[in-house]
Amino acid sequence: MKKTYNIEVDCANCANKMEDVAKNTAGVKNASVNFMMLKMEVEFEDGADVKKVMKEVLKGCRKVEPDCEIEF
Amino acid sequence: MNRKQKKMLTRILCALALMIGLAFLPVEGWLRFVLYMIPYFVVGYDILRKAVIGIYNKQVFDENFLMAIATVGAIAIAVTGEGDYTEAVAVMLFYQIGELFQSYAVGKSRKNITELMDIRPDYANIERDGDIVQVDPDEVAIGSVIIVRPGEKVPIDGMVIEGESTLDTSALTGESVPRDIAAGAEVTSGCINLTGVLEIQTTKEFGESTVSKILDLVGRASSRKSKSEDFISKFAKVYTPIVCYSALALAVLPPLVSMLVLGLDANWMNWIYRALTFLVISCPCALVISIPLSFFAGIGGASKEGVLIKGSNYLEALSQVDTIVFDKTGTLTQGVFEVNEVHHSNLDREQLLYYVAHAESASSHPISQSLQRAYGKSLDLSKVSDIQEISGHGILAKVDGKHVAVGNHKLMATQQISFKECHYVGTVIHVAIDGEYAGHIVISDVVKKDSEQAIKQLKKNGVKKTVMLTGDAKEVAKQVAEKLHLDEVYSELLPQDKVEQVEALLEGRNAKEKLAFVGDGINDAPVLSRADIGIAMGAMGSDAAIEAADIVLMDDNPLRIVRAIKISRKCMKIVYQNIFFSIGIKVICLILGALGIANMWLAIFADVGVMVLAVLNAIRVLFTKKDFERTKR
């Protein structure tokens, strides 16, 4: 299952870091951050609890970029 | 500017004013230190905060941490030395100015490019109790009647039921000549109504309409990253740590060597200062920002001209195309066949076309369409049954209870019907009724007026080989190929043969030479996905083509391919310029910094300046329009 979220981040490098974090979060099959559109596309593993996974993703992203935001 | 940026600007201005004021204030010692710390914290407190959070989260190599270390280090040197805090504060100040510019420039170009692609209609007009009201296009059901006034965008795909007007389709196709439409015409959402009021019956929901599909496609495009982008993000990952460790080495090794080996003064402060200069240069921002920005601008600019590119990777691949394989019908030719002759038929023309048109009634193939058109009367679908379409051969169907076979000579052969060859050049459709040969119809297709020009332009723009594939007869294919000066032509191919042919062409090529296949999206989805780059033409409305292709041309003008290639080349040129320029300047500054020639001022200017230039260069991708008018003429 794929979902797209709006994100808020200021620098392109941070966006890349967020993508790495999202990719390595449990329950996420693949993720891609589009810095220009400020979108994060997340492909979840089957049966993953989307809300819970996204909470983890945000937590991880906050570690690499304290000011970032993901709308979910 | 948004709120965040305005706040940043205020902070920068305050710090700047404070710095100027302090320059005239003759204070010494601790008071001086405290006073200078005010602008430092005003402008850099968020960096320091993030640096601390970063250390706590074990994110040591982020730019906040680096800037914090560099400036705190510079302050420490100033405290122990003669107390010149200007440098440390200025570095922080300029870093923030750079960040602000970056954020502003990216935000601005994001907005510009999105606006460029913004064909989203805000509302739809519907009539309710005699009044015309504006509603959200999402709420309009299929089959509703919407009213589009002059100057408004057509919000949803549909058919005109009343009114006459001209439509500006340039937002969709890049084609600047307006299109005349009247009742009965199909209209695509995203076009702008120019002259008259139109009543349109919607045939799709908003979410399924062309506009939504295009927006969705373009919006997702830059998520598919190109090799250049991958390279840069990998580079950024190793660059920062390498520079940091080098800085550490620079701070420690030379003093130790000069102290222990050479027996000289260690000169710690000097080397630590050089190391801190290194840290200022270590931020990879300029690179990381300019590459996706270039691609985004490239994709945006292309979509403005009716070329939808599904990802940065395809834009990159397109710039390396050296072989283009064309489908014939509908791509190089108009795909509109005209019935020229009816031969050897024992039935009269009318009667033969009656059987043929009914047998072909379920097919969307251009030939079927033209046969139905040639019949010219409305079809009675209740008279047709058991339709069986045999790809690459033709159609078998029951019309008025008779077995009708319509197709090429291969179909006749498989049906074991003896047929008469035709000596005309053109596409020959044989007809058999109840197993008896009933003559053949000769139809011919017209080459598009821009095809020849397009092939010529492609050659001029570095495409080495042009190939045409067609299911059509050899003579017809040869005639078209000669007219257009194509290098190779393969005829009488079934759809699966086309895939094999493309595979054969793909074999033994090196990775830097890409093969593009151009088709009209009908029957060639497998080939579109097999080629390095699949280009679908005239895809307004054809879902399968939009799905299978990597690049979609909004109209069927082959010159758009030339245009797309030019945009991709320009985009890639700018991408490489930015990569070499940014890395080059950084490396030079690192060397100058290590030698003690570049101080921190130069380092921060190099960092911010390179970023500014790279961003401005990236935006240059958008400016290619004039050149097109020239090629068009």
Q: Could you tell me the residue range of the domain that residue B181 belongs to? A: 124-216
The pLDDT of residue B495 is above 50 = yes
Same domain, B453 and B561: yes
Give the CA count within 13 Å in the CB-facing half-sphere of A19. 23
B359 part of a folded domain: yes
CA dihedral A59, A65, A66, A72 (to 10 degrees): -50
Same domain, B482 and B405: no
Chain A residues close to B222, C-beta within 8 Å:
34, 36-37
Q: Does A39 touch chain B (CB under 8 A)?
A: yes
How far apart CA A15 and CA A7 sit, in angstroms, is 9
How far apart CA B342 and CA B167 sit, in angstroms, is 39
Query: Among A13, A34, A63, whose Cβ lies nearest the Cβ of B223?
Result: A34
Confidence of residue B280 (pLDDT cuts 50, 70, 90): confident
- Whether residue B296 and residue A36 make contact (CB cut-off 8 A), yes or no, is yes
The pLDDT of residue B169 is above 90 = no
Q: Look up residue B433 and give its two tokens.
A: 């009724």
Beta bridge partners of B404: B397, B433
Same domain, B128 and B141: yes
The pLDDT of residue B54 is above 80 = yes
- Whether residue B285 and residue A13 make contact (CB cut-off 8 A), yes or no, is yes
Tokens 């911010």 identify what position?
A: B608
Q: Left, alpha or beta for A38 (phi > 0: left; psi -120 to 50: alpha)?
A: left
B263 part of a folded domain: no
Q: What is the pLDDT of residue A24?
A: 92
For chain B, list residues whose CB is within 8 angstroms of any CB belonging to chain A: 49-50, 53-54, 57, 59, 62-63, 99, 102-103, 106, 110, 113-114, 219-220, 222-225, 233, 236, 284-285, 288-289, 292-293, 295-296
The pLDDT tens digits for B354-396 are 888 898 888 777 778 888 888 888 888 888 888 888 877 889 9
Cβ atoms of B196 and B165 closer than 8 Å: yes
Q: Does A12 touch chain B (CB under 8 A)?
A: yes
Q: What's the average model confidence in pLDDT over B590-594?
A: 89
Q: What is the pLDDT of residue B539?
A: 59
- Determine the 3-state secondary structure of B594 from DSSP: helix
For the ranges B1-15, B105-119, B253-267, B408-422, the lowest mean pLDDT is seen at: B105-119
Same domain, B453 and B421: no
- Whether residue B223 and residue A16 make contact (CB cut-off 8 A), yes or no, is no
Where among B506, B539, B565 does a domain terminate? B565
Where among B444, B478, B499 does a domain terminate? B444
Beta bridge partners of B187: B158
Same domain, B321 and B463: yes
Query: How far off is chain A from B600, nearest CA to CA, in Å?
Result: 23
Same domain, B475 and B545: yes
- Whether residue B288 and residue A32 make contact (CB cut-off 8 A), yes or no, is no
Maximum mean pLDDT: which of B292-296, B568-572, B602-606: B568-572
Percent of the residues in chain B that have a pLDDT greater than 90, as a whole number: 15
The pLDDT of residue B406 is above 70 = yes
Q: Look up residue B524 and give its two tokens.
A: 């060639």
What mean pLDDT, rounded, does chain B reach? 84
Closest-CA residue in chain A for B285? A13
How far apart CA B270 and CA B422 sit, in angstroms, is 92
CA dihedral B537, B542, B547, B551 (to 10 degrees): 20
Query: Among A16, A32, A37, whose Cβ lies nearest the Cβ of B219?
Result: A37
Query: Among A11, A17, A32, whose Cβ lies nearest the Cβ of B285?
Result: A11
Beta strands A28-34 and A39-44, pairing class: antiparallel
Rg (CA), chain A: 11
Query: How far off is chain B from A7, nearest CA to CA, in Å?
Result: 14
Q: What is the pLDDT of residue B572?
A: 93
Same domain, B459 and B545: yes
Question: How many structural domains does chain B have?
Answer: 3
Q: What is the pLDDT of residue B630?
A: 45
- Whether residue A37 and residue B236 make contact (CB cut-off 8 A), yes or no, is no
For the ranges A21-30, A46-55, B133-142, B360-369, the lowest mean pLDDT is seen at: B360-369
Same domain, B323 and B462: yes
Q: What is the pLDDT of residue B299?
A: 86
Q: What is the pLDDT of residue B632?
A: 43
Same domain, B548 and B400: no
The pLDDT of residue A41 is above 90 = no
Q: In angstroms, what CA-CA distances link B595 with B118, B278, B599? A: 51, 11, 10
Give the CA count within 13 Å in the CB-facing half-sphere of A54. 17
How far apart CA B173 and CA B304 sit, in angstroms, is 8
How far apart CA B623 and CA B117 sit, in angstroms, is 15
DSSP assignment of B231-245: HHHHHHHHHHHHHHH
The number of residues making up chain A comes to 72
Query: Among A14, A17, A36, whose Cβ lies nearest the Cβ of B110?
Result: A36
CATH code for the domain of B158: 2.70.150.10
Residue B217 CB burial class (10 angstroms; 0-12, 13-18, ≥19): middle
Beta strands B158-162 and B145-148, pairing class: unpaired
Element (H, E) at B199: strand B198-202
Q: Does A41 touch chain B (CB under 8 A)?
A: yes
- Whether residue A12 and residue B285 make contact (CB cut-off 8 A), yes or no, is yes
Q: What is the pLDDT of residue A23?
A: 92
Q: Does the domain at residues A2-70 carry the CATH identifier 3.40.50.970? A: no
Closest residue by Cα to residue B95 from B307, B295, B282: B282
Same domain, B353 and B402: yes
The domains of chain A are located at: 2-70
Q: Look up residue A54 and give its two tokens.
A: 């996204």
Query: How far off is chain A from B327, nearest CA to CA, in Å?
Result: 34
Q: Does A24 touch chain B (CB under 8 A)?
A: no
Tokens 């004013």 identify what position?
A: B17
Chain B residues close to A10, C-beta within 8 Å:
99, 103
Q: What is the pLDDT of residue B611?
A: 85
Q: Look up residue B31 and give its two tokens.
A: 């008071």
DSSP assignment of B331-369: IIB----EEEEEES-SS-HHHHHHHHHHHTTT--SHHHH
In the residue annotation, B327 being an active-site residue is answered as yes
Same domain, B496 and B521: yes
* Contacts for B176 with CB less than 8 Å, ≥ 6 apart: B170
Where among B533, B550, B565 does a domain terminate? B565
Same domain, B346 and B432: yes
The pLDDT of residue B172 is above 50 = yes
Q: Does A5 touch chain B (CB under 8 A)?
A: no
The pLDDT tens digits for B75-127 are 988 888 766 788 889 889 988 988 888 888 888 877 877 776 667 788 888 88
Q: Look up residue B359 and give its two tokens.
A: 């047998």
- Whether residue A36 and residue B220 make contact (CB cut-off 8 A), yes or no, is no
Question: Which residue among the candidates B327, B520, B524, B550 is catalytic per the annotation?
Answer: B327
Q: Look up residue B493 and give its two tokens.
A: 């191919």
Closest residue by Cα to residue B445 from B407, B491, B479: B479
Query: How far off is chain B from A43, nearest CA to CA, in Å?
Result: 13
B547 part of a folded domain: yes
The pLDDT tens digits for B462-480 are 899 999 998 877 888 888 8
The pLDDT tens digits for B520-547 are 766 777 888 888 999 988 755 566 677 7
DSSP assignment of chain A: -EEEEEEE-S-HHHHHHHHHHHHTSTTEEEEEEETTTTEEEEEEPTT--HHHHHHHHHHHHHHH-TT-EE--
In the DSSP assignment, the letter for residue B309 is: E
Closest residue by Cα to residue B14 from B49, B42, B48: B42
Closest residue by Cα to residue B286 from B223, B247, B235: B235
Closest residue by Cα to residue A68 from A18, A4, A8: A8
Beta bridge partners of A69: A8
The pLDDT of residue B514 is above 80 = yes
The pLDDT tens digits for B608-628 are 888 888 888 888 887 765 544
Q: What is the pLDDT of residue B633?
A: 38
Q: What is the pLDDT of residue B543?
A: 67
The amino acid occupying position B261 is: V
Chain B residues close to A12, C-beta within 8 Å:
106, 285, 288-289, 292-293
How far apart CA B187 and CA B58 sit, in angstroms, is 57
